[in-house]
Each structure stands twice: as C-alpha cells, then as structure tokens.
Structure 1
C-alpha cells in the first residue's frame, strides 16, 4: 500500500494544476469555518444572526456544517477527474503498466488517493465542528449528532467514486465534468417529472414524508444523505432556536454504499477490458 501511495502522491504533487486545486479546496473549507460565525445576512431589513438561532449548537452543528461543506464536493470531483484524465493525456497509465504496475494496482492507486482526500475532508469538517462547538456551546456534547460526520464521509466518497467512474469511461476531463453536470440536471428534471405524473397540481398532504423514487438515483440520493437542515418556527417561538434536530437519511446512505461498490466494480472492469 505504501508503494501505491508513493506512486500516486508523486503524480499529484508534481502536477501543478492538481496541486493548486487540492490546496484551494482545503483552504476554502478552512476559510468557511473561520468566516461562518461572522456571516449575518440582511433579510428584509432585519439582520439574521444564525448563531443566536442555535446554528452552531450541538447536535445541529454537525448537520449544518456537514450540509454546508458538502457543496464543495463538486470541486473535489474536479480534482479527481483532472488527476485521472491526466493519466490518459500524458500516457502515464500506459507507461506505469509497461514498467510493471498491474491494472488492478493502478486502479488501487486512484482508489487509495480518493479515500485519503475524502478522509482529510472529513477530518477538516470534524475540526471545524469541534472548534466552533467549543466556542459557541456551554455544554460540549460532541457525540450528539456525530452521525452526520459518517454521513458526510459516505456522501463525499460516493460522489468522487462516481466522478472517477465517469473519467475512466470517457477519458477526457471536459467530457467527464460536463457529464456530471448534465446528469445532475437530468436527475432533477426526472424528479420534477415524477412529481407532476404522480400528483399533478395537487400537492401531497405531507411533501417532506413523500417518497420520490427518483431520489434513489445516484446523484439525487447522494445529496439526500445529509439533507437540508430542518427548521422549526414553533421551536423558534418557544425556545428562540430555529434549527430542529434530525438524523442522517439512512436509506440514502445505504443506497450510496451500493453505488460505491457498483461504480468501483464498473471502473475496474473498464480498466481491465480497455486496451492501453
């Protein structure tokens, strides 16, 4: 494993574009954690202080931070796509194979680096939550809501695995990135179509508890693991706290574990069957 890591690390470290993207991604996450407490948007002339509304209190801080940082996964996917497409553009995949690296080992280098990137991203989320939680909580109940950290890890890893599959399939970074965008838009359109086919103009009684089958598609389900943080006006009126407690969407987490296995298997199949 150390040998595979050294091979992949040298490729990424000595590629200026990949190195810059990685640094920018993690700097973005860190800056997000630093500036978040000072963000107080003005809505209809009223300054909204999310800290006073309990956004950074346990357990909801785990959900809020994981959901917010999760928007950066597309940026991380670009890093993965760029890294793999360079193998085809520069011929390093072919050269590594000639030098004795098996196709399975080559696949292992990409999988290992994607896993490390995901772990480091998850570590930064944990660091942000712990630092902000220690600052804005009287009671440091760190384990309450920590399930969202695991949900964040699965969400990010499943997303980059899908991006990796698209890159192995299409080879070109431009095609892979465009495909990721188009598929994301396409799944949203399919969800809208499902809504109108099933309900027409009659909105269901409880939209939040309505199961949409298109939510189990790869990208839709990925964004549902750590869903939009719920808010409660009733809770705001009674306690002054806007954010309500919730749980990781376990059914979507489970389907993403399935997608991870599926797209890893398909990626390995493509590598083994395709000519150099």
Structure 2
C-alpha cells in the first residue's frame, strides 16, 4: 500500500496543476474561519455570524463538514486528472511494462482517494476544534466530542464522490469530458428528482427512490445544518414554517454510499482489465 501511495504522490508532486488545486482546496477549508469575523450591518439589521452559534460545540461538526463537503470538487479535479494524465502521458503503459499490474494501478488510485479523504477529514477536525475552542459557548469535553459521526459521514462522502470521479476518469480518459459527464449526470438526477417530487407532492416517493442513486445518497449523508440555528428557527416560527428535520447520520445512508464506492472501484478495474493498452 505504501509503495503504491508513494508512486501516486510522486506523480502529483511534479504536476503543477494538481499541486495548485490541492493547495486551493485546503486554503478554502481554512477560510471557513472567515465566517467567524463576518458581520452584517444593514440599517437596523445587525448580526455577527459567530454569535449566532455556528461555532458552538457540537453544532460546529455538522456545519463545518457540510460546508467543507461543498468544496470537494477541487479534489475531484485532481482525482480525474490523475487518471487522464496516465493516458495522455503514456505513463499507464509504462507502469505496466515496469511490472505494475492493472489491479495495483487501480489500487494505487483508490489508496490515493482514501488518503485525500482521510487527510481532509483530519484537517476539518482540527480546524473545527480550534474554532470551537475559541468561539463555542460550550467547551465541556462531553459536549465537544458529541456528534463526531458527522466526520465519519464526511470521510465516506469524499470516498464515494472521488471513487465516482475515478471511474469516470477511467471510462472517458479525458479529464474535461469526465468532469462534464459528472455535471450532466448530476443535472439529470437533480431534475428528474425535482419532477418526481413535484408530481408526488406530500409523499416521500421521490426520497425513497432517489436515496439509492449516487448524488442523492451523497447529499443525504450530511443534511443542511442552517435550519438548526436558533435564529432561523425563530424566524420560521414567526411565519408559521415547520423546520423539523432528521439531521442524524444513519448507518444505511453510509452503507449505500460505500456500496457505490465499491461498485465504482470494481467497474474501474474491470474496464482497465478489458482494455488493450
């Protein structure tokens, strides 16, 4: 495993575009801290985001993993370009000539996916912990380490998303087309979900069906956290809106995404195995 990871990180080290994307991703994760200093002063409306409780433990684990999950597209570009560069630079064929099997090639990419997901999760944990210790109104250890399952969901979300990107990279071979295909697939799933929801309003039919599809299953791992804020709840109560949601991380949602990730890795290997390189 370490040997295969070293091969991949050596390739990334000499790829300027990948280095820039990785650096941009982690800088943006750090910039989550900017939410702490954002203040709105519009006439009589004045509020400080940090004072609204977004960095309170244990809410911060939910909020930060949700926001960080929106930034995963940057690392997706790295994953997809890793595969496409193997074809365009002929390094895949050279690796196979040098003794690397097709199984080891796919495993090296998958281990890189796991490494990116793990490093991102640890990074978000540390950033959240520091922000929480500075701004949270509750710093008892029993509260600090509550709801850490959001970090597990975040890790699984990244693994599933990057595995999808890896599969499309192997399938299409060109990073731009692979990313475009993922965007099109997302739009198809989103639009069809919206149509089914509209025609079956008042029922859970759309959610029951689409929870098994790739993008919806990824989204379900970490629900939006904003309606948990007391200020949002107060406004909702004034206008008569019910903001009661199930924010919990469920084991079956994690299982669905892990099944997709396993399927994408398996299909990537089968594609590569069938191709004459």
Same fold (TM over 0.5): yes
174-183 or 132-141, larger mean C-alpha shift: 132-141
Maintained 8 Å contact 1:167/1:176 = yes
Match of 1:119? 118
Structure 2 counterpart SS, 1:47 = strand
Alignment of 1:61-210 (within 5 A): 61-140=60-139, 141-199=143-201, 204=202
How has the CA–CA distance of structure 1 residues 254 and 20 changed in structure 2, closer, same or farther, with 3 Å as cutoff? same
For residues 144-187 of structure 1, give each alpha carbon's deviation from its aligned partner in whole angstroms, at most 9, with x where no partner exists: 11110001000111000001011111111111010111111111
Shift of 1:244: 9.0
Q: Is the 2:35–2:49 Cα contact (8 Å) retained in structure 1?
A: no
CA distance in 1 between partners of 2:150 and 2:206 (Å) = 22
Query: In 1, distance between residues paired with 2:15 and 2:27?
Result: 18
Partner of 2:59: 60
Structure 2 partner of 1:257: 258
Task: Tell me the CA shift for residue 235 of structure 1.
Answer: 5.8
Bigger mean CA offset, 225-234 vs 14-23? 225-234
User: Alpha-carbon deviations, 1:15-52, whole Å to 9, x = none?
Assistant: 1111111111111111223x120123467862332322
Q: 1:26 corresponds to which residue? A: 26
The count of corresponding residues between Structure 1 and Structure 2 is 265
CA contact (8 A) 1:194 1:214 kept: no
Deviation digits for residues 80-127 of structure 1, max 9, x if unmatched? 111111000100000100111111111111111111111111111101
| Residue 236 of structure 1: how far off its partner (Å) | 4.3
Once residues 198 and 32 of structure 1 are traced to their aligned partners in structure 2, the CA distance between those partners, rounded to angstroms, is 37
Match of 2:17 in 1: 17
C-alpha root-mean-square deviation of aligned residues, in Å? 2.4
